[in-house]
Structures are given as C-alpha cells and as structure tokens.
Amino acid sequence: MSNEPKGKQPTFVSWLAKDSRKAPPAYARRTEFDMGVDDVPIARYTSREFHELEMKRMWSRAWQMACHESNVPDPNDYITYEIGNRSWIVTRQKDGSIKAFANACLHRGMQLVEGSGKLPAFVCPFHGWSWNTDGSNRGVTERWDLPQLKDRDLCLPQAKVATWGGFVFINPDPDAQPFEDYIGDLDEHFVSDPLQNRRVAAHVARVTPANWKVAMEAFIESYHVSPTHPQAVPVSEYPETQYDIYNENVSRLATISIAPVSDVAKAMTDQQFADFGAKSTGREPVRLKPGQSYRSALADERRELVSAALGQSVDHLTDVEMLDAIEYFVFPNFMPWHGYGLQITYRFRPNGDDHESCIMEVYFMLPRNLSEPCPRAPETIWVPEDGTFADIEALGRIGPIFDQDWVNILGVSKGLKSTVKKGLWLSHYQEARIRHYHKRIDAFIAMSDPT
C-alpha cells in the first residue's frame, strides 16, 4: 500500500516550490513510507507490564532530551533529569563540555542532589562521601574502614551525552549508537535556521494524568485540528498536512497555516483575505502594499522582527519557515518546531515510574541576540493541578489551544480504560507517525534486558 493519500493532497511541497526563497533540499524533500493499517493494541497505553518493558529496555537505551544547554551555562551548574525511577545529574564541566552522572551515592545509594543549582562538589548528605563535578571521587569518609575499595572504580557512573540545537541529550546505554547517527540528516533540515539561535523564553510543565504516549500523540498529527481547534481552520490547510518519516527515529508534519482554504476565502481580494486572516487568527490587521499577498506581508514583517532579535538578517528564510507549522519528532521525547510559525519545543516523559501519568513540557524558543551569550533558562512554571494553560501568561495566545488538547488527553486516558476494544484504528497516512514510533518502541523492547 502506498503512503500516497487518496483524499486530500499535501500542499507543503507545492507551497515551497512557489516560495519567495529557496528552502534547504533536505527540508523540501517529501518522503515515501508505509506504516500499514494494523490495530495498535490498547494495552500499550494501559498495562503496567508494557510500561515496565519500556522503562527497562527503551528509556535505558534511547537518546533523550535531558535539558537545554542554558540550564547549565557555567561550570559546576547542574540540573537533574528524571526518567522513570532513574535520576541523572547533568552538569557543566570546566572545559565547557557537559557530563551526566547517575544521581546515586556509591556507598548505600543515597540520591546526591535534587533539582538544579551550582555546587563545587557532590557531597552525599548521609555519610559524607563526595565527588568532584567531573565525577571523580573526592573523598570517602572513614576510608580506613572500607578496605574493599582499594581496587574499585570510585567514579560516578556516566551516561553518554550529546548536544544538538542548544539542547542536551543523554543515553544511559554505554553501547548506544552515536547521537549523530541516531538523528540522521536532521542538521540539514535546520541548516538555514539553527535551533541554537533560540533562547528558552519560558518553560512550562504540567503533570498530566495520562500515559506519556497518550499525551504526546495529542500533538503528533493534524487530523484532530478541525474538530478540536476549529478557530484555526479558516486560514489553514490542516487536512492537507504533509507527513514525513526520515529514519527510524525522526519524523515530521508540515502544515500550511496561512492560506485561503475555503471557496469564500479564495474569492476574496488580497486585502479582503488579509483582513479575514487577521480577524480569524487574532493577529493585528495588515495594510497590504500593491501586489503584496497576506502571506508575503506577514512573512516580511516576521523576518524584520526575527532579524532585529537575532542581530542578524534572516532574509534567506522562506515564507514557509516564517509562517507555517512544521513539527519534528526525535524519538522518544523531543519535539522541536521549525521556523517561526510556532516557536516551541515539546517534551513528554513518564511521571516517575507511574504508567498512568506523565509530564508534558512546553519550551518557548524565541530568537536570541547572537552577539551575546545565550541567557540562562528561566525557572520552570508548573501548571497547578486545578489550573489551565490559559492561566499561564508566558504561553500567550497558545495557552487556550493547549486547554483544548488537554480535554482530548484526559478523555482518551479515561476512554482507554473503559473501552471494550482491544486495539486503536489509526488512519493510514495522517497517523502514520504514531505507528512509526510504536515500531521503534517495539525494536527496543525486542532486545534483552540491559545487564
């Protein structure tokens, strides 16, 4: 079965072809794939046993986003990354590199640090053993009484670490494939607008009463947009979204967000459509110059704003990169959006060792002044249990949209526990990214337990 959709045709590539600028070849490439139509077993979301397999065999071996580099800008800065019942200390070294250590004392296992901060050494509060921030042992109290340590490695165990786009990734598996191989040609997609040119303007997190996959899948396709976010429909080609699968770990969706989609809109003059678009999306009205389209006016306006923020011209970026909704996914927990249509990155992961709750995180990634060091990431804003995303000022006009997605997340989480069905019926094309990453989970859990 071909992946070619029989109904609506994706329009991303055709918009790129008529764009005012040329896109990088990797970015403009459309992929062929076939993820099949098999039911996806519901037990993958609800069973404790499946969660334990994921924890033991997948999260212990996959490259995963642990923090942003600006969480640890200076030597001896640290932040913990919690995944399942494991905790890692991510810390900046004197030479500027970053290391990640198992957050557990080598004596009786006491957790060494919590949260984030800056320390000259990691000192265990229980009996006082200590480690330098490069992981080497600094001291064992009452060493005379531990003769068995003579030939032992007293360094803190490390995870592999990589950085990409300003984010820090770790892999607990000492035999993990290099991160560069894991992400394939992702660099080439972001070559015209590297993610490291952004700063974390806000980091919003919410404990979510749903399996991590239920929450993440609420954001991985555009199939849901018309019923869930009807306000976005009048000027957006959501049904014509293009989906791409690049390798076993990386996929993408690409939606044209500013376009005259209805017959009524198509019959409008450029200025009428500009007025309609501004009203529909809550943007400021735009007075078009002769011959100018609403897309080009908005793209030019945004190029000016971004260039001013960066202190560097972005005149080379396509209208698509300035306006539209392009979301990448790097398995299993990193979802950066490309361009300036939506300047966010998502992360989803289990909440501790609970298979029925997860942590949903939104990083607001705004352009940063490139002549200055990247500012330190702000403190995480936690959405209260009885709060809403709309209450979080930092989220701006996107907060109410997350509240619409939240209804779906809670509803699916409840429904999956009460349904009599055994499997999900996913669409062949629009939900192919879901099947794709489930296959990746399968590949990990088909492996034996790590030693």
User: Contact residues for ligand FES (CB under 6 A)?
Assistant: 105, 107-108, 110, 124, 126-129
Least Å from the CB of residue 137 to ligand FES: 11
Report in angstroms how near the CB of residue 123 gets to ligand FES at its nearest.
9
We find the least distance from the C-beta atom of residue 55 to ligand FES, in angstroms, to be: 24
CB of 141 to ligand FES, least distance (A): 7
Q: Cβ 399 to ligand FES, closest distance in Å?
A: 43
Tell me whether residue 108 or residue 417 sits nearer to ligand FES (CB atom). Answer: 108
Closest distance to ligand FES from the beta carbon of 92 (Å): 23
CB nearer to ligand FES: give 104 or 183: 104
Based on CB atoms, which residue is closest to ligand FES, 80 or 211? 80
Please identify, using beta-carbon distances, which residue of 23 and 140 lies nearer to ligand FES.
Answer: 140
Give 144 or 379: the residue with its C-beta nearer to ligand FES: 144
Query: Which residue's CB is nearer to ligand FES, number 124 or number 359?
Result: 124
Write a three-state SS string for the chain.
Answer: CCCCCCCCCCCHHHHHHCCCCCCCHHHHCCCCCCCCCCCEECHHHHCHHHHHHHHHHHCCCCCEEEEEHHHCCCCCEEEEEEECCEEEEEEECCCCCEEEEECCCCCCCCCCCCCEEECCEEECCCCCCEEECCCCEEECCCHHHCHHHCCCCCCCCEEEEEEECCEEEEECCCCCCCHHHHHCCHHHHCCCCCHHHEEEEEEEEEEECCCHHHHHHCCCCCCCHHHHCHHHCCCCCHHHCEEEECCCCEEEEEECCCCCCCHHHHCCCHHHHHHHHHHHHCCCCCCCCCCCCHHHHHHHHHHHHHHHHHCCCCCCCCHHHHHCEEEEEECCCEEEEECCCCCEEEEEEEECCEEEEEEEEEEEEEECCCCCCCCCCCCCEECCCCCCHHHCHHHHHHHHHHHHHHHHHHHHHHHHHHCCCCEECCCCCCCHHHHHHHHHHHHHHCCCCCC
